[in-house]
Structure 1
Amino acid sequence: MSAEKVILIEPVGQVTLVRNERSRYFRLRVKPTGHAHVSMPVLASEAKAVNFVKSKSAWIIQQQQKIKTGLTVFGQDNSFRTKFHQLKIVKVDQGQVTNLIGNGIIQINIPNKYDYQSPTIQQFIRKILIEVMRQEAKIYLPVRLQELASNHGFQFQKVFVKHVKSRWGSCSSVNNINLNLHLMRLPDRLIDYVLLHELAHTKEKNHSKNFWHLLEEICPGSKQLDRELKKYHVDIF
């Protein structure tokens, strides 16, 4: 069980406090939106949480600056696309921000009176993009994973599509494979690389020499693809 409260703490801005019965200590992270998120024990006081955040303010601001420079600012000249959709931003006379999805287009209608660069507008766009990628991933990734497994003689149990913060994919001890919906914004060669990487883990559970040898057999140039993948951030785009 958990309970959330959003407060404003200067100089870091919006902070989400989450009381979690599994938390024994204060744990801090900065989300891709730049907002700080604190997991705290149920009985800890809000004042103690605020002091904790203030004590970490320099680190939080540093992370916010990294995110600010790494995030795309979506505008009319932006060429962002997912696996099956192209983002299109249109300035309109209507009174509110809306979206229209179809025929390979994610159209975001932004009233002329609004600044498209504002955090609220940018967050709305990201939310829509994530939902589109979620639907694409649920349709595409399980099918593509099965194709690659059949082509290379692998077997897995179940496949799950998730929105996680740190991994493109993972393989459990019982060969269930988890895949990140953010794969849908990677080039096809990197999508396949991640899927083959996790399939290789159904036979080799760690990153031993045997694992990399197996992966190279089924995915030539795997080391180079791994280096290329590191240029992308899982949840910062």
Structure 2
Amino acid sequence: MCMNAEKVIVVEPVGQVTLVRNERSRYLRLRVKPNGQAHVSMPVLASESKAIDFIKSKSGWIQQQQQKIKTGLTVFKQDSSFRTKFHELKIVPVPQAKVSGFVGNGIIQINIPSNQEEQHPTIQHFIRNTLIEVMRQEAKVFLPIRLQQLADQHQFQFEKVFVKHVKSRWGSCSSINNINLNLHLMRLPDRIIDYVLLHELAHTKEKNHSKSFWQLLESVCPGAKQLDRELKNYHVDIF
């Protein structure tokens, strides 16, 4: 069992930083979470002062990532155009005290109090969480079926498929050919969804990104490299 211990500290100029002592960590590892907070995974015996020095040495990069996140997040408004695979967002001001939502007939309707600004953080948080839950339900129905269709079409075999809310990747394939797929695929174009699914299916035969892997993927997904470049225009948890 891996035991993790977390501590939140403040390191200027980047703000709050979460330190996680992880038995599996062999070195300091830094990432910036979708909320803009820096997160450092560190060996159990590493000193906090060493972690702080490491954070300060990377402060420029951290601030760049924080700015990207700040400018990259959508502010949902009444005239916003946002679609999941099967639903469209609709924001409606209503004479009520609390924000609420309704999902049905292809619509994600968010009712916001008419006396509140739609940009209010509480409203934006509600909208974003509602969209994530809708995508979760869509993904659980659509992705396993589509994955099986593509596997049958191209003679791939996989073990199990899992739909998850992962903040770092669109999909993955384990050593025993279990495939993990991200619910955020539900906001990508169909051709990109199929590319991700075929990418992971190709990993059931080729476990790395070798020349053989790309040849296999190109044979079942023509234009794979171009689709891979298109995928980089999207961010897993920034939308």
Q: TM-score, normalised by structure 2?
A: 0.84
1:99 corresponds to which residue? 101
Listed as ranges, the gaps of 5+ residues in structure 2 are none
How far apart are the structure 1 equivalents of 2:21 and 2:112?
A: 38
1:188 corresponds to which residue? 190
* Pair 1:217–1:59, CA change in 2 (3 A): closer
* Pair 1:211–1:49, CA change in 2 (3 A): closer
- Report deviation, 1:90: 1.1
Query: Which residue identity lines up with residue 36 of structure 2 in the other structure?
Result: G
1:165 corresponds to which residue? 167
* Pair 1:125–1:105, CA change in 2 (3 A): same
Query: Which residue identity lines up with residue 189 of structure 2 in the other structure?
Result: P
- Report deviation, 1:35: 3.3
- Report deviation, 1:148: 0.6
Identity of aligned residues (%): 74
- Report deviation, 1:38: 4.9
- Report deviation, 1:11: 5.5
1:90 corresponds to which residue? 92
- Report deviation, 1:178: 0.9
- Report deviation, 1:177: 0.8
Deviates further, 27-36 or 17-26 = 17-26
8 Å CA contact 2:11–2:17 kept in 1: the answer is no
* Pair 1:212–1:202, CA change in 2 (3 A): same
SS of the equivalent of 1:80 reads: coil
8 Å CA contact 2:69–2:238 kept in 1: the answer is yes
2:68 corresponds to which residue? 66
How far apart are the structure 1 equivalents of 2:230 and 2:43?
A: 40
8 Å CA contact 2:32–2:62 kept in 1: the answer is yes
- Report deviation, 1:51: 5.8
How far apart are the structure 2 equivalents of 1:10 and 1:118?
A: 27
8 Å CA contact 1:168–1:183 kept in 2: the answer is yes
1:229 corresponds to which residue? 231
1:115 corresponds to which residue? 117
- Report deviation, 1:7: 7.5
Listed as ranges, the gaps of 5+ residues in structure 1 are none
Query: Which residue identity lines up with residue 151 of structure 1 in the other structure?
Result: Q
- Report deviation, 1:143: 0.7
- Report deviation, 1:17: 3.7
2:34 corresponds to which residue? 32
1:134 corresponds to which residue? 136
SS of the equivalent of 1:116 reads: coil
2:207 corresponds to which residue? 205
Aligned residue pairs: how many? Answer: 235
